[in-house]
Amino acid sequence: MLVFSIGVDAQTVVEERLTAEGFAIAPERTEAPDFTLETLSGEERSLSSYQGINDDRFKIVAVDLQEDRETVKEFTDELDLSFPILLDERGIAGSIYGISAIPTTFLIDKDGGLVARLVGSREWNTIGMLMNE
């Protein structure tokens, strides 16, 4: 699963904490490549449509790579996931972002700039609390 977080405040303190968690901080902000995929309910959504929504400082958007809708639905129901999940059955987003391992996480600031990347899994409760401080 590819995870994008929209709305990260790119402050030095946050970057130091992210580095301590294993994130690679982008040396300079570049615009996150946009893509449009279907949600589990069949609605089309672009990555950029999640930018700056509400006043959330931290928003998780997951992209499932190359699995069918039913498999993803069973997984999300089993884990009781509440964040949006986009279906990338053909590997479009994975290709655009050069994914070589799953999971890979990208942090994107509220203006759509790439902040950081993390390959591998981490404890999201800790990272979520760090981002909301």
Residue 124 domain flag: no
Q: Domain of 8?
A: 2-115
Kindly state whether residue 133 falls inside one of the protein's structural domains.
Answer: no
Q: Residues 102, 2: contact at Cβ < 8 Å?
A: yes
Q: Is residue 131 part of a domain?
A: no
- Tell me what the mean pLDDT of segment 17-44 comes to: 91
pTM summary value: 0.80
Into how many domains does the chain fold? 1
Can you give the pLDDT at residue 54?
Answer: 64
| 12 or 64, higher pLDDT | 64
Q: Would you state the pLDDT for residue 93?
A: 93
DSSP string over 61-97: EEEEES--HHHHHHHHHHHT--S-EEEETT-HHHHHT
Q: How many CA atoms lie within 13 A of 88 on its CB side?
A: 22
Q: What is the CATH classification number for the domain harbouring 92? A: 3.40.30.10
> Looking at the domain assignment, is residue 85 inside a domain?
yes
pLDDT at 11: 60
For position 110, what pLDDT does the model report?
Answer: 80
Residue 126 to residue 131: CA distance in whole angstroms:
9
CA distance 119 to 40: 24
Q: At what angle do helices 12-20 and 124-131 cross, to 10 degrees?
A: 170
Q: What is the pLDDT of residues 62-113, one digit of tens each?
A: 999 999 999 999 999 999 998 899 999 999 999 999 998 999 999 888 888 8
* Residue 71 is assigned to a structural domain of this protein: yes
Q: What is the pLDDT of residue 10?
A: 46
Is residue 120 a part of any domain in this protein? no
Q: For residue 114, what is the enclosing H or E element?
A: strand 114-119
Q: Does residue 130 lie within any of the structural domains?
A: no
pLDDT given for residue 3 in this prediction: 58
pLDDT band at 42 (very low <50, low <70, confident <90, very high): very high
